[in-house]
Amino acid sequence: MKVLKFGGTSVGSAQSISTVIDILKKEDLSKGAPVVVLSAMSGVTNLLTHMANAAATGQDFTAHLAELETRHFGVVKELLDVQAQNPVFTRLKLYFNQLEDLLQGVLTLRELTPKTLDLIVSFGERCATLLVSRIAMQYFPACLFVDATEVVKTDSAHGQAKVNMELTGLLINDLYRANSDKILFVTGYIASNDAGNVSTLGRGGSDYTAAIFGSVLNASAIEIWTDVNGMMTADPRMVKKAFSLPELSYTEAMELSYFGAKVIYPPTMIPAFLKRIPIVIKNTFNVDFEGTVIRHDPGKSKLAIKGISSVNKISIINLVGSGMVGKAGFSGRLFSLLAREQINVILITQSSSEHSITFAVQPEDAEKAKLLIEQEFELELLAKKLEYPVIEAELSVLAIVGENMKQTPGMSGKLFHALGRNGVNVRAIAQGSSEYNISVIISVVDLAKALNAVHDAFFSQLNKTLHAFCLGTGNIGKTLFKQLDQHKDYLEKNNGIQVKVAGISNTRKMMFDVDGVDLKDWEDKLQASDEPADLAAFVAKMKSLNLPNCVFIDNTASPKPIEFYEEIFKSNISVVTCNKIGNSGSYQRYKTFRDTARAHGVDFFYETNVGAGLPIIHTLKNLMGSGDRLQKIEAILSGTISYIFNNFKGDANFHNVVKTAQDLGYTEPDPRDDLRGTDFMRKVLILARDAGFEMEAEDVQIDNILPQACLDAASVDDFYAALQSENVYFEDLKNRAESEGKVLRYIGKLDNGKASISLQMVDSEHPFYTMSGSDNIIAFNTDRYSARPMVVKGPGAGAEVTAAGVFADLINVGAN
Ligand code: ADP
Ligand code: ASP
Ligand code: MG
């Protein structure tokens, strides 16, 4: 025979109760009638507790009572034949009258004892079980409603009573033997003490009732029917990528549930473990799901860990003092004290010096624990052998669990790397000696981020999710969104990376969506957003959302975002940018960015600062990183100037070539910005700094291409006029070059720690002789590439290639 337990949501509505009946109909009754354990309808235990507390403080509870009645009566009307309804209404009404009397008593006395509360909440299970058993009678002739207070016997620790297994075993056996042909419908969670007073087994305790019946009756399996696909790698409400586990050992299930995996109540595992009865967690709302099997000998799993769970809110108490050093009895005294007072200690860590002990408790127990300690250790406190206990609140426990962790090195490294990278501060650490679990205490506000980041780190076979916050919706920003959208599926399939654009801002509007903005209609959405752009607010929101694997993308050419980079790194957020201003400002700032990013374990990628998508920065870093030594760099890094000199030949006139370049959109609105070499200078400066030179902008020597008259022009029109009148100067340059069989090239150079940009004439032997369009080219001379340089060449401007470079940087974030 089997025991089936249905939780609150499974009996939460007429519709789900029908599903439960359908599940029961599929049971093979020839193997012995099953025992069906039921919880209260979802939310009812909470509501009853709330009503009891309300009554104790003099508040009215009648509206809630009416709500309870309506909910239960509604199910009767919907699922019971009319002639069967009345007796059930009568029974239910009896329960509600008793409940009302009790609550009235609490209201009158303004007192609510744990004993009374147990009695009050017991009506939740009683009503639900009565209902379901009567509905089942329409389909199964032999059904019996069992009030578990008659068979499950406990001590008097109300709220969390301990079961007397021996006596309970006898009673259940008697009951079962007398009714072996019937399906028993048993109230979960509730029991009674020796005196016959109702007790409860702790919140979530219906699972435990099921395990007790399963163990006593030697069931072939204990099925826990709930509202999710079994035990998952994390709470699916917190971690969207959590997935179902096919198998677990009792210990693993115990550890996961102890640290918060509510799907099964931890003590449930003990009776099942002792008799090696498998527990199968199934989904009422997805009957095809095979279930998670918790068993004695689960097969070998490839997963490094089985899951991550968390206890949302805890407080810790720190005890510090010399009085603890070497005192064998100290912890004994401390923890017996807490046990005696029913204070549940969730986790303990002790420093190896024994100078301090930290332990975690439920927040509501913290003050009491502190007081108890102060009483118990009064002498030690007075003698200053112990300092007064300190409570820290608003904390959570995150635990990774799995038997494979045992003796596998690197597990804690991985955990702390994921936490550190995401800026999650670890307050305390505990590793059980079983090595089945490593727990860390972190701030409540970091919990969701930490769970997701750790999940990504340990289940790397799953996609990693990057959360991008993008600034700038000009050509590059737009193109990046288009590319991200186009390559979404490919990226997930081949790189295991999912990019969610969680925030977008331009200079007018901003918007956020933690689930990722739909990149097909981001423009309309941004347009419709009612949040005006505000850079500081954008950064603040990005920080406060606290998402894992977060990246700030600066696709602007503005100096404003740069002001926030340092703060962003300090928040453990990586930066990807095509904006050159940050890296070409003062050397001090350039250095601060790198130091801060490194200190916080995040990335700062800016490949597109030089040569758009061409792998230039990357190549330089790889050369240097592999121990090669740089001798010289020569480069043409301005697409605009490149275009101009590639076309300034034969009959061409310089003025016209510049004009055409402008008409084609190759220049800045004011072409002097290009021809002055400022943009080129910035690139050379960044390269020089990345090559290890402490250099400022003034250190880059720039030779003017233009005669002074052109530079002095008051407007763009004057500038063109000046180009025309200086025509002789340009013609002379061109003719000189042509007569020597050379071409004109504006070349940046880094040689011997000196950076310069100058107009040069190169012959056909030079790698820069043949160039076309707006190509960029860079030649690296190094110790290894000394005879012939390593050359990178290709289109070095344009939205497509620049966005592609930003894209490549983005997906590399967190790769190392
Ligand atoms: P029931 O009412 O059926 O007893 P519970 O609400 O007690 O159901 O437990 C099921 C819930 O447990 C799920 O809805 C899920 O949100 C939560 N949960 C927490 N951690 C996990 C986990 N690791 N795997 C599955 N569910 C989990
Ligand atoms: N109804 C009880 C609770 O909500 C017991 C259970 O659901 O398992 O805690
Ligand atoms: Mg439960």
Q: How far is the CA of 453 from the centre of ligand 3 (A)?
A: 26
Question: Do β-strands 464-471 and 497-505 pair in parallel, antiparallel, or remain unpaired?
Answer: parallel
Q: Which two tokens stand for residue 559?
A: 């100096």
Q: In Å, how far from its chain's centre is CA 642?
A: 46
> With bands split at pLDDT 50, 70 and 90, how would you rate the model's confidence at 354?
low
Contact residues for 199 (Cβ-Cβ < 8 A; gap 6+): 118, 154, 155, 156, 157, 158, 161, 190, 191, 192, 193
Atom of ligand 1 nearest to the CA of 307: 23
Rounded Cα distance, 816 and 810, in Å: 13
**Which residues are the active-site residues?**
683
Q: Where are the chain's structural domains?
A: 2-227, 307-458, 466-592, 616-795
Q: Which two tokens stand for residue 532?
A: 């005006």
Instruction: Identify which of 9, 244, 262, 311 to mutate to test ligand 1's pocket (most ligand atoms within 8 A of the CB).
Output: 262
Rounded Cα distance, 34 and 213, in Å: 11
Q: How far is the CA of 7 from the centre of ligand 2 (A)?
A: 7
Atom of ligand 1 nearest to the CA of 261: 20
Q: Whose CA is nearest to atom 5 of ligand 1?
A: 263
Yes or no: say if 563 and 541 are a contact pair by the CB < 8 Å rule.
no
Rounded Cα distance, 471 and 581, in Å: 15
Q: How far is the CA of 42 from the centre of ligand 1 (A)?
A: 12
Q: What is the pLDDT of residues 582-615, one digit of tens each?
A: 999 999 999 999 999 998 888 999 999 999 889 9
Other CB atoms within a 10 A radius of the CB of residue 183 amount to: 22
Pick 181 or 434 by higher pLDDT: 181
Q: Whose CA is nearest to atom 27 of ligand 1?
A: 235
Within 13 A of 302's CA, how many CA atoms are on the CB side?
3
Q: How far is the CA of 108 from the centre of ligand 1 (A)?
A: 37
Pocket of ligand 1 (CB under 6 A): 7-10, 39, 204, 226-228, 231-232, 234-237, 261-263, 307, 309
The ligand minimizing its distance to the Cα of 312 is: 1
Tell me the chain's radius of gyration from C-alpha atoms.
Answer: 36
| Percentage with pLDDT > 70 across the chain | 98
Instruction: Identify which of 201, 222, 226 to mutate to test ligand 1's pocket (most ligand atoms within 8 A of the CB).
Output: 226
pLDDT given for residue 221 in this prediction: 97
pLDDT given for residue 459 in this prediction: 87
pLDDT given for residue 434 in this prediction: 65
Q: Is pLDDT at 200 greater than 80 in this prediction?
A: yes
Residue type, 623: L
Contact residues for 505 (Cβ-Cβ < 8 A; gap 6+): 470, 471, 511, 533, 535, 538
User: First-to-last CA distance in the chain?
Assistant: 53
In the beta sheet, which residues pair with residue 755? 700, 750
Rounded Cα distance, 559 and 577, in Å: 12
Atom of ligand 2 nearest to the CA of 7: 7
Q: What is the pLDDT of residues 657-677, one digit of tens each?
A: 999 988 887 777 788 878 888
204 within ligand 2 shell (Cβ under 6 A)? yes
Cα 505 to Cα 225, 478, 527, 555, distances in angstroms:
46, 12, 10, 10
Other CB atoms within a 10 A radius of the CB of residue 336 amount to: 12
pLDDT given for residue 61 in this prediction: 95
User: What mean pLDDT do residues 732-746 have?
Assistant: 93
User: What mean pLDDT do residues 155-163 have?
Assistant: 94
User: What mean pLDDT do residues 306-325 have?
Assistant: 88
pLDDT given for residue 265 in this prediction: 94
> With bands split at pLDDT 50, 70 and 90, how would you rate the model's confidence at 325?
low
Q: Is pLDDT at 622 greater than 70 in this prediction?
A: yes
Is CATH 3.30.2130.10 the classification given to domain 307-458? yes
Residues within 5 Å of ion ligand 3, judged at the Cβ atom: 7, 204
Q: How far is the CA of 207 from the centre of ligand 3 (A)?
A: 7
Q: Where are the alpha helices (DSSP H) in 600-726?
A: 617-625, 639-647, 654-663, 672-675, 678-690, 708-712, 716-725
321 within ligand 2 shell (Cβ under 6 A)? no
39 within ligand 2 shell (Cβ under 6 A)? yes
DSSP 244: B
Q: Whose CA is nearest to atom 12 of ligand 1?
A: 263
746 within ligand 2 shell (Cβ under 6 A)? no
Q: How far is the CA of 186 from the centre of ligand 2 (A)?
A: 13
Q: How far is the CA of 232 from the centre of ligand 1 (A)?
A: 9
DSSP letter for each residue of 717-772: HHHHHHHHHTHHHHHHHHHHHHHTT-EEEEEEEEETTEEEEEEEEE-TTSTTSS--
pLDDT given for residue 353 in this prediction: 63
User: What mean pLDDT do residues 444-468 have?
Assistant: 87
> With bands split at pLDDT 50, 70 and 90, how would you rate the model's confidence at 639?
confident
8 within ligand 2 shell (Cβ under 6 A)? yes
Instruction: Identify which of 127, 206, 263 to mutate to test ligand 2's pocket (most ligand atoms within 8 A of the CB).
Output: 206
Q: Whose CA is nearest to atom 21 of ligand 1?
A: 235
Atom of ligand 2 nearest to the CA of 8: 7
pLDDT given for residue 432 in this prediction: 63
Yes or no: say if 368 and 341 are a contact pair by the CB < 8 Å rule.
yes
DSSP 562: H
Evaluate the CA torsion angle 473, 474, 477, 479 in order and state its sign: positive
Q: Is pLDDT at 681 greater than 80 in this prediction?
A: yes
The second-level CATH assignment, the architecture, of 2-227 is 3-Layer(aba) Sandwich (3.40)
Q: Whose CA is nearest to atom 11 of ligand 1?
A: 263
The ligand minimizing its distance to the Cα of 263 is: 1
262 within ligand 2 shell (Cβ under 6 A)? no
Cα 8 to Cα 88, 92, 199, 226, 507, distances in angstroms:
20, 18, 19, 8, 50
505 within ligand 2 shell (Cβ under 6 A)? no
pLDDT given for residue 663 in this prediction: 87
User: What mean pLDDT do residues 461-483 have?
Assistant: 91
The ligand minimizing its distance to the Cα of 244 is: 1
pLDDT given for residue 788 in this prediction: 87
Which of 123-137, 285-299, 421-435, 752-766 bottoms out in mean pLDDT, i.e. has the lowest? 421-435
pLDDT given for residue 332 in this prediction: 82
Atom of ligand 2 nearest to the CA of 207: 8
Contact residues for 815 (Cβ-Cβ < 8 A; gap 6+): none
DSSP letter for each residue of 473-489: -SHHHHHHHHHHHHTHH
Q: Which CATH superfamily is domain 616-795 in?
A: Dihydrodipicolinate Reductase; domain 2 (3.30.360.10)
Q: What is the pLDDT of residues 56-107, one digit of tens each?
A: 999 999 999 999 999 999 999 999 999 999 999 999 999 999 999 999 999 9
DSSP letter for each residue of 767-787: TTSS--TTEEEEEEEESTT-S
Q: Is pLDDT at 461 greater than 70 in this prediction?
A: no
Atom of ligand 1 nearest to the CA of 233: 23
Fold equal for 2-227 and 466-592: no
Q: What is the pLDDT of residues 368-385, one digit of tens each?
A: 999 999 999 998 899 888
pLDDT given for residue 538 in this prediction: 97
The ligand minimizing its distance to the Cα of 46 is: 2
Atom of ligand 2 nearest to the CA of 265: 8
User: What mean pLDDT do residues 755-769 have?
Assistant: 92
| Percentage with pLDDT > 90 across the chain | 71
Third-level CATH fold of 466-592: Rossmann fold (3.40.50)
